[in-house]
Amino acid sequence: MTADTKRRQAIGPDHQLPAHVPAYRRPKVLRIVIISLLLLIFVVALILVLHHHEEAKKKAAARPAPGITITTATAQKGNIGVYLDSIGTVTPVYTTSVTSQVTGQIIAVHYKEGQLVKRDDPLVDIDPRPYQATLLQAQGTLERDENVLAQAQMDLERYRAAWARNSIAKQILDDQEKLVLQDKGTVKNDLGTAQYAQVQLDFCHITAPIAGRVGLRLVDPGNVVQSAGTVTLAVITQLEPITVIFTIPEDSLDQVEAGIRKKASLTVDAFDRTALTKIASGKLLTLDNQIDTTTGTVKGRALFGNENDPLFPNQFVNTRLLVNTLQGVTLIPASAIQQNGQASFVYVIQNNVAHTRSIKPGVTDGGVTQVEGINPGDVVANSSFDKVQDNTAVVVSNKPAPAGASGSSTP
């Protein structure tokens, strides 16, 4: 092909020669085009990813959230007691330390250690022979003086008959009358001496003054005891009935006295040292007549029948005195009540959604609390408090809440 022909081919339809692009600039243009395409692809991909993420969030928001599994309790209408808790000591109604009232040698011990004795059961015998001899002497003197008195009375009758016949002087009759009175005094003195000797003899046979349990044996046969009573022969403690002495705060004294004035029988329950096991139930017997200024309390005494001896003398017990009973109040488990500072609240479940409800708790007894702010029949949450919040969807479980499921006391 000729040079003219090539030139004609290079001229375009608009009769202009094409711009001349140097060979060294062609790769740079191509690189810019490729980068632009990659940026465009990246932007489109980013837009698609963001759009997909937004769609997922919308679907997640539209999908109902899974509920928190909880256990519930239903508020009940019922009665609850108002109690005063205290500590007390089991105190027998009667405790007797038996001692000797005569001097002598012990010849027999009839009781066994820990034996339950009745009134007038034999306990200890002391050698009675010296006192038998003393009694015999007193009886002999009494018998002699009684006969002297009888003789004086016979003479008095004779003198009266003679005086009636004017056979003797009036002085003789008067003297005889006074002699009879002297003899009567002597006989009365002898009678007292004989009775005293009999009492001393009776003291040689020592019996139980009360019914109860005898403690450990304190003396043995052969020991000599004195009438001064320095040696205890036996200790008897009455077990049935028995009392418990406990304290009542002076601020609560009005409640107790109100029940006493109404002649109400105030119940007192005795619990063991852990205050978990109930030992016996009794009745308030009386209150002390003054308040202890060092403790600000007054002592009370409760009487217990103590059948089968569940209470033991000097035993430490926890007492609960029932001073009032609230009738027809709303009751819920104490574990369902939560605290937020000084405020108390519960989660009321309605349509499987928990709603916070402020309440005013009152008396608590046996894990049940009287409250104000909800109605009987309301269902309240009783577990998973570390997860439940106001307006939280919940799922009610029929299984009891595991130990420690109550969670935190704050929302």
Q: Model confidence at 23, in pLDDT bands (50, 70, 90)?
A: low
Please give the C-alpha separations between residue 334 and each of 115, 318, 331, in angstroms, as whole numbers: 47, 22, 9
pLDDT on residue 141: 96
Beta-carbon contacts of 180 under 8 Å, excluding residues fewer than 6 positions away, are 149, 152, 153, 156
Asked whether the beta carbons of 374 and 380 are under 8 A apart, the reply is yes
Q: Model confidence at 22, in pLDDT bands (50, 70, 90)?
A: low
pLDDT on residue 37: 79
- 122 or 167: whose pLDDT is higher? 122
Mean pLDDT is highest, among 135-144, 247-256, 271-280, 332-341, for 135-144
Beta-carbon contacts of 284 under 8 Å, excluding residues fewer than 6 positions away, are 256, 259, 260, 265, 266, 267, 268, 300, 301, 302, 321
pLDDT on residue 35: 82
Q: Is the pLDDT of residue 401 over 70?
A: no
Fold of 83-93+237-323: Elongation Factor Tu (Ef-tu); domain 3 (2.40.30)
Residue count of the chain, please give it. 411
Of 53-62, 111-120, 328-337, 387-396, the poorest mean pLDDT is in: 53-62
Helix (H, G, I), strand (E, B) or coil at 309: coil
Backbone φ and ψ for 43, nearest 5 degrees, come out as -65, -45
Q: Provide mean pLDDT across the span 11-23.
A: 50
Q: Provide mean pLDDT across the span 397-404.
A: 49
pLDDT on residue 383: 87
pLDDT on residue 52: 79
Pick the CATH number of 69-80+327-396 from 2.40.420.20, 3.40.50.150, 3.40.50.10300, 2.40.110.10: 2.40.420.20
Q: Is the pLDDT of residue 408 over 60?
A: no
Residue with tokens 């375009």: 12
- What is the value of pTM for the model shown? 0.66
CB 351: neighbour CB atoms within 10 A? 6
CB 63: neighbour CB atoms within 10 A? 8
Q: Is the pLDDT of residue 204 over 60?
A: yes
Over the stretch 320-332, which tens digit does the pLDDT of each residue have? 999 888 889 999 9
Q: Model confidence at 386, in pLDDT bands (50, 70, 90)?
A: confident
- 369 or 229: whose pLDDT is higher? 369
Over the stretch 283-332, which tens digit does the pLDDT of each residue have? 999 999 999 999 999 999 999 999 989 999 999 999 999 988 888 999 99
Please give the C-alpha separations between residue 34 and each of 17, 28, 30, 44, in angstroms, as whole numbers: 29, 10, 6, 15
DSSP string, 14-67: TS-PPPPPPGGGHHHHHHHHHHHHHHHHHHHHHHHHHHHHHHHHHHHHHSPPPP
Over the stretch 26-49, which tens digit does the pLDDT of each residue have? 567 777 878 887 888 888 888 888
Q: Is the pLDDT of residue 8 over 70?
A: no
pLDDT on residue 407: 36
Asked whether the beta carbons of 213 and 236 are under 8 A apart, the reply is yes
pLDDT on residue 60: 54
Q: Is the pLDDT of residue 51 over 90?
A: no
Q: Provide mean pLDDT across the span 186-208.
A: 96
Pairing of strands 338-340, 343-350: antiparallel
AA letter at 250? E
Q: Provide mean pLDDT across the span 163-169.
A: 90
Q: Is the pLDDT of residue 400 over 50?
A: no
- 32 or 164: whose pLDDT is higher? 164
Q: Is the pLDDT of residue 272 over 60?
A: yes
CB 196: neighbour CB atoms within 10 A? 13
Of 21-30, 117-126, 217-226, the poorest mean pLDDT is in: 21-30
CATH of domain 102-225: 1.10.287.470
Over the stretch 83-105, which tens digit does the pLDDT of each residue have? 999 999 999 999 999 999 999 99
Which residues face 338 on adjacent strands?
345
Percentage with pLDDT > 70 across the chain: 87
Mean pLDDT is highest, among 116-130, 251-265, 336-350, for 116-130
The stretches of 240-301 forming alpha helices (DSSP H) are 253-261
pLDDT on residue 117: 95
Asked whether the beta carbons of 222 and 120 are under 8 A apart, the reply is no
